[in-house]
Amino acid sequence: MLTRSPDRVALTGAVLALVSALMLPAGTLRPNRLAQGDPHSWLAAGAILAVPMLALLLAVFASFLCSRSLRGHVLSSAGVLLIGGIALSLGALSESLMVDAPSIARVSIGSGTWLMLAGAAIVAFSGWQALMGKESASQGTHVRMVYPLATAAFLFAAVAFGGLDTISLAAEYGIRTAVFWPSVIAHLRLAGVSLVLGLAMGVPLGIIAARDARIRRVALGVTGIIQTIPSLAMLGLLIAPLAALSAAYPVLRQLGIRGIGETPAMIALTLYALLPIVRNTYVGLAEVDPAVVDAGRGMGMSRGQLLWRVEMPLALPLVLEGVRAGAVLLVGITAVTALVGARNLGSFIFEGLGQAAPDLILLGALPIIVLAIVADVGLSFIADAVTPKGVRAA
């Protein structure tokens, strides 16, 4: 199939990347990590970027002549190449600026770079979407995974060999290496444990909700209201009762249950995970064809057999979709819980805000974004894999 209609999304991404490359600064050289500095344009970075940039534009236009699946590959490769090109060019720029600068000087990433990355990501993502489309789903998931892996490889190469280790973000990381990885792990653990708790409570609640209209109204109503409470307010609400409990029962304190720290964080996160999981479990079960349930009952299946052999397998894709939504949500909200003393990636953000050090904020924010994307992609992968063959979209 030939599609000559331009892919508007990819085109927008390409134009965004091009305009920001020409108009906006690539990076800023500052005298120290807190001071304002001088912007430097991409022209100062030399021609390294020109090649992938040109390749990208050609690819975007060429893709309009390609079949749908080929277009997906062309756009994905172009986007990934551009991201790699930007990372390498940024490293080169930073290295050249730092040659003449004092050692406390910092090179921060400029707005032009961010917007180019965004543009490149849009191009790559539109290609990825085309690959995820129905017609090309048969090509298998393995091929598609090449692109995220290639992106990661480019970024790694830019840090290890391309001079990207001289930018301010890397310097912030260098200062905090000792706490960075424990924070990543703490972040994942807190979000993960809360998600599992949410799952353990949400799935049974969803099952009951599918059986009983009254419980359904209450369960969906309450979890819906929880979702609307701002996370800071929720944490604040939890501090007082938990503190009182822990004061009244020393046993609890010994177990680590206090008004601040991981306990309120975990409770809040579990509550937030409930809505997507309960709702999707309920919807998944409610959407099972009544004739199918009827046939199962008519053949003499018990309620349990019906639930585990028929209804849950059919509802599973939707349940996992809820888990995915919950996971992405929790990775983000976990950052906020740093405010009540749960040490995680959010701590860098709040420290950075306190010190007015933008690159420290980034040190917390960027990994959170990456974790959220990894959770999103990974879980939709799992959802694909466990969807029963007979109900998978053709």
Partner 1 sequence: MIHLDGVTKRYGDTVAVDDLTLDVAEGEVCVLIGPSGCGKTTTLRMINRLITPTSGRIMINGQDASELKAEELRRSLGYAIQSVGLFPHLDVAANIAVVPRLLGWDKPRLRGRARELLELVGLEPEQYMGKYPRQLSGGEAQRIGVARALAADPPVLLMDEPFGAVDPLNRGRLQGEFARIQRDLHKTVVFVTHDIDEAIRLADRIAIMRDGRLVQYDTPETILDNPVDHFVRDFVGSDRALKRLVRVPVRDVMDTAPPVARRSAGAKEMLAEVGRTRFVYLVDEQGRLTGWLDRAQLKGGCTVEDALSDADPAQVAVRPDASLKEALSRMLGLGFRSIAVVESDGRLVGQVTLGSVEGAMTESDEHQGARPAEHMAEYSAEDTSDDSVLESIASDDQGDCT
Task: For residue 38, list its beta bridge partners.
Answer: 29
304 binds partner 1 (CB under 8 A): no
Q: Compare residues 74 and 315 and give the one whose CB is closer to partner 1.
A: 315
Provide the mask over 104-143, with x wherever binding to partner 1 is found by CB under 8 A and - wherever it is not: ----------------------------------------
65 CB-near residues (< 8 Å, 6+ apart): 2, 4
The residue ranges of DSSP E strands in the chain, in sequence order, are 27-30, 38-40, 106-109
The pairing of strands 38-40 and 106-109 is unpaired
Q: Is 213 in the site for partner 1 (CB under 8 A)?
A: no
**Residue 389 beta carbon to partner 1: minimum distance, rounded to whole angstroms:** 7
Separation of alpha carbons 255 and 221, rounded Å:
32
Shortest distance (Å) from residue 39 CB to partner 1: 58
Q: Map residues 305-344 to x or -, x wherever contact with partner 1 holds by CB under 8 A.
A: x----x--xx------------------------------
Up-side HSE of residue 299: CA atoms within 13 Å toward CB? Answer: 10
Is residue 299 a contact residue for partner 1 (CB under 8 A)?
yes
* Among 302, 353, 355, 373, contact with partner 1 (rule: CB under 8 A): 302
Q: Residue 9 and residue 128: Cα distance in Å, rounded?
A: 12
CB-CB contact of 209 with 223 (8 Å): no
CB closer to partner 1, 179 vs 386: 386
For residues 143 and 293, which CB has a smaller minimum distance to partner 1 in the complex?
A: 293
Nearest distance in Å: CB 393, partner 1: 10
- As measured in angstroms, the least distance from the Cβ of 126 to partner 1 is 30
Q: How far is the CB of 288 from partner 1 (least distance, A)?
A: 9
287 touches partner 1 by CB under 8 A: no
Q: How far is the CB of 83 from partner 1 (least distance, A)?
A: 39
| Closest distance to partner 1 from the beta carbon of 217 (Å) | 24
For the bound state, the minimum distance from the C-beta of residue 207 to partner 1, rounded and expressed in Å, comes to: 18
What's the min distance (Å) between Cβ of 309 and partner 1? 8
Q: Does 298 bind partner 1 (CB under 8 A)?
A: yes
Following DSSP, what letter does each residue of 118-178 receive, concatenated?
HHHHHHHHHHHHHHHSGGGGGG-HHHHHHHHHHHHHHHHHHHHTSSGGGSHHHHHHHHHHH
Note whether 291 binds partner 1 by CB under 8 A.
yes
Q: Which is nearer to partner 1, 83 or 288 (CB)?
A: 288
Minimum distance, C-beta of residue 287 to partner 1, in the bound complex (Å): 11
Q: Is 102 in the site for partner 1 (CB under 8 A)?
A: no
Residue 32 binds partner 1, judged by CB under 8 A: no
Total of residues contacting partner 1 (CB under 8 A): 22
Cα first-last separation, the chain? 18
CA distance 266 to 273: 10
DSSP state of 222: H
- Judged by CB, which is closer to partner 1: 217, or 309? 309
Distances (CA, A) of 135 to 68, 362, 371: 8, 39, 29
Under rule CB under 8 A, residue 286 binds partner 1: no
Q: How far is CA 122 from CA 12, 15, 76, 293, 308, in A?
A: 8, 11, 9, 43, 41
Bridge partners of 37, per DSSP, are none
230 vs 390 by CB, closer to partner 1: 390
Which distant-in-sequence residues (6+ apart) come within 8 Å of 51 by Cβ?
A: 85
Q: Are 88 and 158 in contact (CB under 8 A)?
A: yes
When binding is defined by CB under 8 A, the residue of 295, 353, 356, 373 that contacts partner 1 is 295
Query: And the tokens for 387?
Result: 């969807």
Asked whether position 300 contacts partner 1 by CB under 8 A, the answer is yes
Query: Which residue in 296, 322, 326, 346 binds partner 1 (CB under 8 A)?
Result: 296
385: contact with partner 1 by CB under 8 A = no
Q: What is the dihedral of CA 364, 365, 371, 375, to 10 degrees?
A: 140
Residue (of 188, 194, 190) closest to 370 by Cα position: 188
Q: Which residues bind partner 1 (CB under 8 A)?
A: 289, 291-302, 305, 310, 313-314, 388-391, 394
